[in-house]
Structure 1
Amino acid sequence: MSKILYFSRNPNPRLAVAVARYLQAPVSLEFASTFAPAHEAKFKALNPTQLLPILVEDGHSLWEADAIACRLSMMVGSNFWRMDAETPEMIRWISWAKANFVWACDIVHFEFGTKQRYGFGPVEHDKVKEGEALFHKAARILDDHLKNREWLMDSGISYADFRMATFLPFNDVAGLPLADYPNLSRWNDGLMRLPGWADPFEGLQAPELHPVPKR
């Protein structure tokens, strides 16, 4: 049965690859440039947005990182994506992350990272301030929750931890003050010790992201 996970090095595709490698899922990992003229028709048929990641199983495509993480967990019979009484709690953290902590990190990373990599215009410092304010608000909540906890859920690591940390591997560019939040920093350090998370692209054919000019 053919299973291919198409990815790039950007944050959400990175997240999907990290899940696949952490779970040792039986999928082929293939770098893709979905907007390249030669590939555009193929990937538009797989995902109308043409965005990565995309998981293809025997011609059927699944897109969006969270859905792919769920499928990969099912594929290997893992409770990484909770399928029990803890499912609502895990989804609570995924939902909160995307609307708060991840969103804040995304705003700042977009200005200092994405826009500068791809020439989308100068940094909008009012947007950076907005993102930083949201980051501090969310980080305080997250830091408090992680006090005396190794992972977001008491039962152990889950996909919610990976989703929450989507942009933290890119913080060398965003420069958000993780050190101001010791429990959050400790949790992030724990993630960085996990196989598949620190460098999910190890051994893969995957061109590096364009460098970001120094500030």
Structure 2
Amino acid sequence: MKLYFSRNPNPRLAVAVARFLQAEVDFEFAAPRAAGQAARYLPLNPNLLLPILELPGRSLWESDAIACWFSRKAGSNFWRTDDDEPDMIRWISWAKDNFVKACDMVHWERGTKQRYGVGPCDEQLVEEGLREFHKAAAILENELSDRLWLVGNAVSFADFRMATFLPYNDAARLPIGAYPAIQRWSEQLEKLDAWREPFKGLAAPEMPPLPG
């Protein structure tokens, strides 16, 4: 069993889950869209995107599906399977269309485009992303104001998914500090070794530095 990954946000999420659950899996840094690599990875993921979990006779792609698989194999309730499961799925769904989406918009302009020379930062799109961020952050702040984690009394995949882009905030510069409950929750996640340093001990080239 092998998890193909990179240092980008969604592959990082899958690696963090695997490390948190102490999954028995091999890790391999990959670049499916690099020159000459497509033929190798197309049978594993027709989208040529990471992460990819290679299993005997088949593959699984998309971070959420991979997280579910790891949690089930570990016999863990990290991916909730009890009465909290609908609540967890609600947060995963909401995150990807709201908080995570807004973080992604800003990070793409301020981070990814600059690291890889895709083009200049579009300040109008940054402003749009920040407006969406504040709308979503206000809702998340209210929800986290009286609880430690999003679902129940322990960390779940909902927390990992919601925080997908926060480890990249050196680039995105989202105003997390304006939201005390979100800041506290983010710092709480950073206390988890698997979240803070998912690539520790792995062969994983660093991302290109931000210019200037």
Equivalent positions of 1:44-83 (< 5 A) are 44-83=42-81
Aligned residues of 2:84 and 2:152 also touching (Cα < 8 A): no
**Ranges in structure 2 where 5+ consecutive residues have no aligned partner:** none
TM-score (norm 2): 0.98
Q: In the TM superposition, what is the alpha-carbon distance from 1:119 to its structure 2 partner? A: 1.3
Match in the other structure for 1:114: 112
Q: Match for 2:9 among 4, 8, 11?
A: 11
How many residue pairs are counted as aligned between the two chains?
A: 212
Q: In the TM superposition, what is the alpha-carbon distance from 1:148 to its structure 2 partner? A: 2.1
Q: 1:62 is paired with a residue of what secondary structure?
A: strand
- Percent identity between matched residues is 59
Give the Cα–Cα distance (whole angstroms) in 1 for the partners of residues 179 and 34 of structure 2. Answer: 41
- Write the deviation string for residues 169-207 of structure 1: whole angstroms up to 9, x where unpaired: 000000001110000000000000002000100000000
Q: In the TM superposition, what is the alpha-carbon distance from 1:155 to its structure 2 partner? A: 3.2
**Ranges in structure 1 where 5+ consecutive residues have no aligned partner:** none
Q: 1:196 is paired with a residue of what secondary structure?
A: helix
Q: 1:197 is paired with a residue of what secondary structure?
A: helix
Q: Match for 1:101 among 96, 99, 102?
A: 99
Give the Cα–Cα distance (whole angstroms) in 2 for the partners of residues 38 and 120 of structure 1. Answer: 21
Given the alignment of the two structures, is residue 185 of structure 1 paired with residue 169 of structure 2, yes or no? no
Give the Cα–Cα distance (whole angstroms) in 1 for the partners of residues 126 and 135 of structure 2. Answer: 14
Match in the other structure for 1:161: 159
Q: 2:42 is paired with a residue of what secondary structure?
A: helix
Runs of 4+ in 1 over 4 A off after TM superposition: none
Answer with 150-159 or 13-22: which moved more: 150-159
Q: Match for 1:90 among 88, 91, 106?
A: 88
Q: Match for 1:33 among 31, 34, 55?
A: 31
Letter in 1 for 2:86: P
Q: In the TM superposition, what is the alpha-carbon distance from 1:86 to its structure 2 partner? A: 1.2
